[in-house]
């Protein structure tokens, strides 16, 4: 179930998509603490699409895992979002292993999960300009 945590601003929404609840919640908490953005989370790509469809222009950054078990993967999510009118978020892929064969031009950044969550949060802050 998705939840929203309020930052200090509210004009920018960052969406964190990962099937690992503990990891996802940790990243959400760090983003809320270190940015002035609202942050919402989703356990899978389908939940993420529901959130984006509610207000396609509000979601500015999507941090997504590549492999989320069943359903769409992170690249398929990015492809699906590209077909939603008004939705133009920046995508960041965070995965266990980056395979050059699955690299998509839809992603502004790709990081490996073995790298610290701080590095991911830092990249998102850089992309938001906040």
For 100-130, write each residue's pLDDT tens digit. 666 666 677 767 766 667 777 888 878 877 5
Angle at which helix 117-128 crosses helix 21-34, to 10 degrees, equals: 50
In a domain? residue 130: no
**What CATH number is attached to the domain comprising 13?**
3.40.50.2300
Integer Cα distance of 90 and 81 in angstroms: 11
Q: How many domains does the chain have?
A: 1
Tell me which DSSP letter residue 87 carries: -
pLDDT tens for 23-58 read 899 889 988 888 888 899 999 999 999 999 999 999
Tell me which DSSP letter residue 44 carries: S
């Amino acid at each position: 179930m998705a939840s929203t945590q309020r930052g200090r601003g509210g004009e920018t929404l960052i969406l964190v998509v990962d099937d690992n609840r503990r990891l996802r919640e940790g990243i959400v908490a760090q983003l809320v603490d270190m940015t002035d953005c609202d942050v919402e989370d989703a356990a899978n790509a389908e939940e993420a699409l529901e959130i984006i469809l509610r207000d396609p222009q509000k979601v500015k950054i999507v941090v997504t895992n590549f492999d989320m078990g069943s359903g769409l993967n992170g690249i398929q999510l990015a492809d699906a979002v590209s077909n939603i009118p008004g939705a133009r978020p920046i995508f960041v892929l965070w995965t266990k292993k980056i395979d050059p064969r699955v690299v998509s031009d839809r992603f502004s950044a790709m990081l490996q999960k073995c790298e610290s969550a701080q590095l991911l949060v830092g990249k998102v802050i850089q992309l938001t300009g906040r």
